[in-house]
Amino acid sequence: MSNDMQPGCAIAVTSGKGGVGKTNISVNFALALSKLGKRVVLFDGDLALANAHILMGVNPARTVVDALNADLPLIDIAMEGPGGVKLISGGSGLEGMLNVSGPNRHKIIMAFNELARDVDHIVVDTAAGIDDNVIDFVNACNRVIVVVVGEPSAFIDAYACIKVLSQSGRMSHFDIVVNRARDDAHGRDVFKRFKGIVDRFLTANIYHVATIPEDDQINSSISRCEPVVLSYPGSKSARAIEGLAALISSPQATPANEDPEAIFARRSSVLDERRV
Ligand SMILES: Nc1ncnc2c1ncn2[C@@H]1O[C@H](COP(=O)(O)OP(=O)(O)OP(=O)(O)O)[C@@H](O)[C@H]1O
Ligand SMILES: [Mg+2]
């Protein structure tokens, strides 16, 4: 349990669109929080196509599927990853997909409460899309980072994602990370255009929390199976992700949707609420 006996903050990383950088950002953001002295667990919520472990260069002996099958606490199958981050891997392929039923999602979400007692931050990498699996995991977190890139299709999918999440009535604050930007000015421009669309049709509050530049060292880090904040700590992408971690864990952080205690109390009803 944390020193102040408060449950930890849970942060989902989502996007609607696939392939925009969620897993890279989740892994490196978790590591950057750990570098700041936070106790961090990364949950790979992409149950069918789990790949956070590959980016981290580890081979988990057990996955969330083992925890579900044997009714084990999630922390029991967490493995120590690089940089002190604990990883809960998401299974893969058919085995993973078979386990995303409502009752199993409920079990996983309730297990976030056990985890939240032991760590400062739970980072949840989500799958592409806005299916029940993604929405329920995001709704079980008190913060959400939405990753966008400067392409119309990414705007449309991120917009749909924010729309569905804000319709739950529980989420009104969304942290936006612009990924693969040419530079900071381009990042600001992408955010401005995206905000224009959101403000026109939705009542959500969106905040530009980081611009991560297009960076070849991301691809080099993937080839090395060593996340960029560890393999190239001075690179522009690593510095941007470290800035994001510093912001989110600071008193100047953007507003969360709920306090950690409030989401702690509400997790049992996450699945029911969405169906209302
Ligand atoms: N800032 C960046 N600079 C350069 N390349 C990047 C950057 N961010 C992501 N990429 C590239 O995009 C690819 C996809 O990234 P990643 O797997 O993190 O996306 P994802 O959103 O998790 O995808 P999926 O929806 O399939 O889970 C990476 O393999 C990398 O090649
Ligand atoms: Mg991914």
- Domains (ranges, CATH) in the chain? 10-269 (3.40.50.300)
Atom of ligand 1 nearest to the CA of 46: 27
Q: What is the mean pLDDT of the chain?
A: 92
Ligand 1 touching residue 239 (CB < 6 A): no
Spatial distance between the Cα atoms of 159 and 148, rounded to a whole number of angstroms: 10
Q: Which two tokens stand for residue 48?
A: 């069918």
Q: Give the pLDDT of residue 15.
A: 98
To 10 degrees, the CA torsion angle through 33, 35, 37, 42? Answer: 40
Residue 11, beta-bridge partner list: 123, 143
Q: Give the pLDDT of residue 100.
A: 74
Pocket test for ligand 1, best of 14, 17, 23, 177 (most atoms within 8 A of CB): 23
Q: Which two tokens stand for residue 221?
A: 């880090």
Atom of ligand 1 nearest to the CA of 15: 21
Spatial distance between the Cα atoms of 23 and 10, rounded to a whole number of angstroms: 16
92-144, pLDDT tens digit by residue?
A: 766 666 657 888 889 999 999 999 999 999 999 999 999 988 999 999 999 99
**Residues 66, 77: contact at Cβ < 8 Å?**
yes
pTM here?
0.96
Ligand 1 touching residue 20 (CB < 6 A): yes
In this structure, how many other beta carbons lie within 10 angstroms of the beta carbon of residue 185? Answer: 10
Decide if pLDDT at 274 tops 70.
no
Using a CB cutoff of 5 Å, list residues around ligand 2, an ion: 22-23
C-alpha of residue 87 to centroid of ligand 2, in Å: 14
C-alpha of residue 81 to centroid of ligand 2, in Å: 17
C-alpha of residue 130 to centroid of ligand 2, in Å: 13
What confidence tier does 272 reach under pLDDT thresholds 50, 70, 90? confident
Return the residue whose CA atom lies nearest to atom 9 of ligand 1. 21
132-150, pLDDT tens digit by residue?
A: 889 999 999 999 999 999 9
Pick the ligand that lies closest to the CA of residue 44: 2
C-alpha distances in Å from residue 139, one per residue of 105, 216, 228, 239:
12, 33, 28, 29
Helix (H, G, I), strand (E, B) or coil at 179: strand
Choose between 223 and 170: higher pLDDT.
Answer: 223
C-alpha of residue 88 to centroid of ligand 2, in Å: 14
Rounded to 5°, the CA angle 82-34-90 comes to 55
What confidence tier does 34 reach under pLDDT thresholds 50, 70, 90? very high
Q: Give the pLDDT of residue 2.
A: 42
C-alpha of residue 4 to centroid of ligand 2, in Å: 33
What confidence tier does 4 reach under pLDDT thresholds 50, 70, 90? low
Stated as kind and residue range, the H or E segment containing 212 is strand 205-213
Q: Give the pLDDT of residue 164.
A: 96
**Residues 88, 41: contact at Cβ < 8 Å?**
yes
Q: 152-167 vs 132-139: helix axis angle to the nearest 10?
A: 60
Long-range contacts of 67-75 (CB under 8 A, 24+ apart): 67/111, 68/99, 68/104, 68/107, 68/108, 73/111, 73/114, 74/43, 74/108, 74/111, 74/112, 74/114, 74/115, 75/41, 75/114, 75/115, 75/118
Q: Judging by beta carbons within 10 Å of its beta carbon (0-12, 13-18, 19+), is residue 125 exposed, middle or buried?
A: buried
Ligand 1 touching residue 18 (CB < 6 A): yes
Pocket test for ligand 1, best of 218, 221, 231, 232 (most atoms within 8 A of CB): 218
**Residues 21, 147: contact at Cβ < 8 Å?**
yes
What confidence tier does 276 reach under pLDDT thresholds 50, 70, 90? very low
57-89, pLDDT tens digit by residue?
A: 999 999 998 898 898 989 899 999 999 999 999
Ligand 1 touching residue 175 (CB < 6 A): no
